[in-house]
Structure 1
Amino acid sequence: MSNIENAKKISVQSMSSDKFKMARDAGKTERPPNDNFLLVRMTCFLLGFMNLAPLLFASTASGYWMYKFRDPSIDSETTKGTDRTTLQSYYQPVSMVAQQIPAVTMSALMTAYGHKVPHMKRTLVTLLLFVGVYLLFTVFTQIDTDSWQTGFFVVAIFLSMLNSALTATIQMSTAVLISKLPQSYLMFFLIGQNGAFISTILQIISLALTDNQPTAGLFYFSSGAILISITFILVTMCRKTKVFEFYEIEVVNENNSENISWDEAKELMKIIWPSQAVIGLALFTISTIHPAISTLVVSENEMAATPWSTKFFSPVAAFLVIELSAIIGRLLSKKFFITESNKYWYVGFSALRLIISIPICMLFDAKPRNLPVLFHRDWQFIVFMFIFGFTNGWLVNVSAMSLKTLVPGKPEAAFKLLALTISIFSAVTVANGLLAVKALLI
């Protein structure tokens, strides 16, 4: 981290220089082409989804990880909160901690040297590597790891770290790509970043189809590999579309593009700091609550061992609710922007949300715990997750959408700086989930 802060210069791509814009606009007086069959918009949605999906696919499979790290001596595929092993309790928070090392490293490398490799090539290669990782996840669903759970824990964490490095790479690459398209395409991209409901729905379907966790995991992770492959195919198809040609997505040779000096980057950050602050506070809040604590919350009917309490409560209440509500928040944020006059209101609201949300979540029945439980009902947890997800999606979307109005001359640079900010804030807050789990045992 200190190496980043003390660097004399950070090379940030700015393919939207005034010179480039003038040259592009001079020959583009005709109407933009139609997006036939919404192909480009759908691809933007999936690229936004790929910014988080590979990590979310792994974390959403909470039931699968509970099965893999259960006590094999207990003759059951499900584990009650009181019977959870150390590996079960700490998989999610340890995974979150481990992911930040490659995420920050790759974000810094992409910021400094990413221009040496065209962003489209980086995107396509990263998608192919994602497919390989998910094929490995799929293979492990059919391998009995009960006799070497600790070893498999290490393997799973390593794969999550690889996933994280690839995610950081595609985030920085798609930030350049998407910023060259109009606002309407950007909206699909941002909604796609909250497309985690897709992975949750696939998880719920896999659990509904079978009571066997390895079989459910096979369906789930193979579906993820297929979805990533579809994204790769659609991106390849879009390269031939008139939309990509009109907006010159691949025209600029990134090896010769202009860089922004460290001083210029600091000037940009003076302008976009409200967006950075709002997203930073949102990251601090969600890194503490979800999925570290939210996946440990059990249903009020846990002892009855119903399908809802044992199979569907966590995927629905802890994941699907927050993801769908976040999409609603993003959709309703379209007309809101951070401006010079309201920036302190957005930052203040984000800080207040952090102060209120974390203590409330700690008072739900997340196990194992020694702290008292104040909220026992399933509906209370669902309502909380809905409000939490809605405000998170709304704030993040407003922050990102405001960049084009805050920095109209260099949106690509602003988006890349914001992506780097997200990685740094994620690293700073990396231990939040682990500390929150430990706090439950006080």
Structure 2
Amino acid sequence: MEYQEICVPLKDKFFTTYVLFYALGTVTLVPFNFFTTATDMYKFRDPESNLSYSTENRTGLQAEFTADYTIVSNVSNAVFIILTILWIRRLTILVRTIMALCGTIAIFVCTCIFVKLDTDSWQTGFMVVTLLTGFFLTGFCGIFLVTLFEMAPKFPPSYLAVIFSGQAICGILSALAQIVSLSVDADPAVNGLVYFLSGLSFVVLTLVGFSWSLRTSHFFKHHFWKEIAAEKFEVSKEKILTILHKVKFYLLAMTITCGSTIMVQPSVTSLVLSVDKNNGNNWNDVYFAPVITFLVYCTSDYFGREFAMLLKKHSQGLVLLSAACVRVVFVPLLMLCNAQPRDHLPVVFDEDYAYIIFIIIIASTNGFLMNLCIIRVSHIPTDDEKPLAMFFIMIFIIVSSMICAFVGNGLVQAL
């Protein structure tokens, strides 16, 4: 189906497509955020131990799950993005979008079923199944991410930045869902079911919103069906080197920013407890981790991204690269907070406010630097170079995340 160009530009009535792009960006991180935020849903407890589950007596599986899932998630992302670029990309954007969203929904349904199963007799097997589930769930989102990067250039430039802000919103929604499920004070299985059903519901609503926009929104249909150079761009060595020369500082800044964040969030930060835990206060015992480690982090990340979108002055790539290098200092600072269990490093920052300050700074600078770099990369190249520049953004982020996820697992062992 083709739509002819018209002289008067179409308007996004009621900003429905803008909101849809927020939702589409959110879906790309649903598997990662909903699985890693659920630190108390997957307890992987020792059935032979008389000790009840607590954050102080985590087993090896309990302590390493978040770091292991981060590795699996990033490896899956890289594998499926490469497969999509090489083969799956032959399918149309519409087919890939529906396939990825339906696949995500199907695996979320399986996850909800596992929440109700008794897994005490096969804890290691259950962890393997959980990681495999996460592998394929992230794989569908990897396919969707490539598809979304192909779809975004069809729309005005502001819609690309909205996708990344939507990713931050995903973390906020998953953290709120966990807090609500914990506040119910029900059986852990019930909490887990409510939690994952909320994630499932959001993906279903996004699929419905996408289908509705495709049928009824003239603005969305006009841009979605528009043919652009991104669908048939040619690659040459000279073109690659030219683009890399233009955006090298921004790509390096993104790589360092994303990598240093992945090293500690959530592999290390998910283990951090309130120093006043077990004093009978629900804030310290129940809500500290989900509120600070996830909700405050994701909210700070979101506002950092939004501030980058509002910033009118263009920042030099070398300045952003320097800022990205400086914020690496927060990796050891967070490791010296009250992350448990630990056998090697001392707890230096034994006040909750220090950890909260570190979380706010590392999150807000992550969102700010990432979105600012993405916005600059989308403006510097010429129109025919933009598709390849977007491809470089995706590859640099994925490779950095995958490598630093392994580093994050090592940092957990070093605690």
TM-score range, shorter chain: over 0.9
1 or 2 for the larger relative contact order (CA 8 Å, sep ≥6)? 1
Q: Is the 8 A contact 2:107 2:137 kept in 1?
A: yes
**Aligned-partner residue type, residue 353 of structure 1:** R
Q: Is the 8 A contact 2:154 2:226 kept in 1?
A: no
Q: 55, 62, 71: which is aligned to 2:32?
A: 55
CA offset digits 1:245-277 (Å, max 9, x no partner)? 332x12339997333235423332222222211
- In 2, distance between residues paired with 1:307 and 1:72? 26
**Aligned-partner residue type, residue 39 of structure 2:** S
Q: 1:214 to 1:242 in 2, by over 3 A?
A: same
- In 2, distance between residues paired with 1:174 and 1:31? 23
Q: Which 10-residue stretch deviates more, 258-267 or 416-425?
A: 258-267
Deviation at 1:183, TM superposition (A): 3.0
Q: Is the 8 A contact 2:257 2:370 kept in 1?
A: yes
Q: 1:96 to 1:338 in 2, by over 3 A?
A: farther
Identity %: 23
Per the alignment, residue 245 of structure 1 pairs with 221
**Aligned-partner residue type, residue 29 of structure 1:** C
Q: How does 1:27-426 map to 2 (within 5 A)?
A: 27-33=5-11, 35-65=12-42, 67=43, 69-73=44-48, 78-81=53-56, 83-195=57-169, 196-240=171-215, 241-247=217-223, 249-252=224-227, 257-336=232-311, 342-354=316-328, 356-369=329-342, 370-410=344-384, 411-426=386-401
Q: 1:367 to 1:242 in 2, by over 3 A?
A: same
Q: Is the 8 A contact 1:141 1:217 kept in 2?
A: yes
Q: TM-score, normalised by structure 2?
A: 0.93
Q: How does 1:1-16 map to 2 (within 5 A)?
A: none
**Aligned-partner residue type, residue 405 of structure 2:** V
Q: Match of 1:402, SS?
A: helix
- In 1, distance between residues paired with 2:39 and 2:373? 30
Q: 1:39 to 1:328 in 2, by over 3 A?
A: same
**Aligned-partner residue type, residue 30 of structure 2:** A
Per the alignment, residue 19 of structure 1 pairs with none
Q: 1:55 to 1:254 in 2, by over 3 A?
A: farther
Q: Is the 8 A contact 2:81 2:143 kept in 1?
A: yes
**Aligned-partner residue type, residue 292 of structure 1:** S
Deviation at 1:29, TM superposition (A): 2.4
**Aligned-partner residue type, residue 331 of structure 2:** I
**Aligned-partner residue type, residue 186 of structure 1:** L
**Aligned-partner residue type, residue 174 of structure 1:** L
Q: 1:174 to 1:424 in 2, by over 3 A?
A: same
Per the alignment, residue 7 of structure 1 pairs with none
Q: Pairwise CA RMSD of aligned residues?
A: 2.3
Q: 1:229 to 1:262 in 2, by over 3 A?
A: farther
- In 2, distance between residues paired with 1:255 and 1:378? 48
Q: Is the 8 A contact 1:338 1:398 kept in 2?
A: no
Q: 1:254 to 1:215 in 2, by over 3 A?
A: farther
- In 1, distance between residues paired with 2:278 and 2:188? 20
Q: 1:337 to 1:349 in 2, by over 3 A?
A: farther
Q: Is the 8 A contact 2:165 2:302 kept in 1?
A: yes
Q: Which 10-residue stretch deviates more, 72-81 or 103-112?
A: 72-81
Q: Is the 8 A contact 1:180 1:412 kept in 2?
A: no
Q: Is the 8 A contact 1:80 1:302 kept in 2?
A: no
**Aligned-partner residue type, residue 225 of structure 1:** L
**Aligned-partner residue type, residue 96 of structure 2:** R
- In 1, distance between residues paired with 2:413 and 2:69? 15
Q: Is the 8 A contact 1:137 1:221 kept in 2?
A: yes
Per the alignment, residue 439 of structure 1 pairs with 414
Q: 1:270 to 1:361 in 2, by over 3 A?
A: same
**Aligned-partner residue type, residue 56 of structure 1:** N
Q: Is the 8 A contact 2:161 2:374 kept in 1?
A: no
Deviation at 1:348, TM superposition (A): 0.9
Per the alignment, residue 9 of structure 1 pairs with none
Q: Is the 8 A contact 1:102 1:161 kept in 2?
A: yes
- In 2, distance between residues paired with 1:398 and 1:438? 33
- In 2, distance between residues paired with 1:163 and 1:309? 33
- In 1, distance between residues paired with 2:117 and 2:30? 24
- In 2, distance between residues paired with 1:345 and 1:258? 31
- Structure 2 spans left out of the alignment, 5+ residues: none
